[in-house]
Structure 1
Amino acid sequence: MKLFGQDKEDFSVLVVREADEVAEAVDQALKTAGPEERPGLERAAALLAAAREATDGELRGNWARRKIAEAGVKGRADSVRAVKALREAEPGLTLLQAVRLSQEAAALDDQEHHRRTA
């Protein structure tokens, strides 16, 4: 899946959403599932429901968080090292795009931190 548009001046990120089709397939499988398959399919259905509810910003932020973690970057997701890791992971990113993605990742980190401490 290619996430980023070709226009260097525009911050266009394509988010592909196929959760509806996959969720429908899981729902169909649940109808005929045996007792041993049911727990896994129910968990899959719950994960797909959460994916459908995620905003485009959350999907982009989660992608950025994964790429930053894969690069072994510790600390804030909007650090210079994190931006560099994003640009290395996706060479077509402009500096502005990488900064914005890192900010979306950092915002998700902040939200999780506030939830844990609340």
Structure 2
Amino acid sequence: MFGRSKPLELNVLVLRDADVIATALRTALAAAAPEERPGLERAAALVEQAAAVPDAALRARWVHERLTAAGHEGPVDSVRAVKTLRESVPGLGLLSAVQLTKDAAAHRP
């Protein structure tokens, strides 16, 4: 093989702050007045629900959002989608864009 080979890797990181938010809600709930408790309990349940979403689903949602914002209306895993995603996210490599669009097609929002 000619040239330098690059390792195959996906350089997309999912960041979550749900644990920090859940801790803050639990602290607030512990000191809450009775009239505040229902709202805080509902908020805590929503944070737990958000924390349970798999990373793959979050990446798929991110891809769908980027493509929608860029005006892409075709199949998510098309060549045009890969091109649109790479244009909307400077520095995103071809391999990563292809993998992201394939994964996004498998996880419809």
What TM-score comes out, normalization by structure 2 length? 0.74
What TM-score comes out, normalization by structure 1 length? 0.69
| Structure with the higher helix share, 1 or 2 | 1
Give the conservation status (yes or no) of the 8 Å contact 1:30–1:38.
no
Give the conservation status (yes or no) of the 8 Å contact 1:65–1:77.
yes
RMSD, matched Cα: 2.5
In structure 1, distance between residues paired with 2:52 and 2:104: 17
**Corresponding residue of 2:77:** 78
CA gap of 1:37–1:82, structure 2 versus 1, over 3 A, is farther
**Displacement of 1:38 after TM fit?**
3.9
**Which SS does the other structure have where 2:92 is aligned?**
coil
Identity of aligned residues (%): 47
Give the conservation status (yes or no) of the 8 Å contact 1:64–1:86.
yes
**Displacement of 1:65 after TM fit?**
1.3
Q: Does 1:48 align with 2:52?
A: no
Question: Counterpart of 1:103 in structure 2: which amino acid?
Answer: K
Give the conservation status (yes or no) of the 8 Å contact 1:73–1:82.
yes
Higher relative CO (Cα under 8 Å, sequence separation at least 6) belongs to: 2
**Displacement of 1:92 after TM fit?**
1.1
**Which SS does the other structure have where 1:20 is aligned?**
helix
**Corresponding residue of 1:107:** 106
> What per-residue deviation string (whole Å, max 9, x for no partner) do you get for residues 29-83 of structure 1?
33415647843x4443233212221222122111111111111211322122321
**Displacement of 1:97 after TM fit?**
0.6
- TM superposition outliers: structure 1 runs of 4+ over 4 Å: none
Q: Which has the larger radius of gyration?
A: 2
In structure 1, distance between residues paired with 2:100 and 2:8: 15
In structure 2, distance between residues paired with 1:70 and 1:88: 12
In structure 2, distance between residues paired with 1:42 and 1:78: 39
Which region of structure 1 is more displaced relative to structure 2, 29-38 or 96-105? 29-38
In structure 2, distance between residues paired with 1:19 and 1:49: 7
In structure 1, distance between residues paired with 2:87 and 2:8: 19
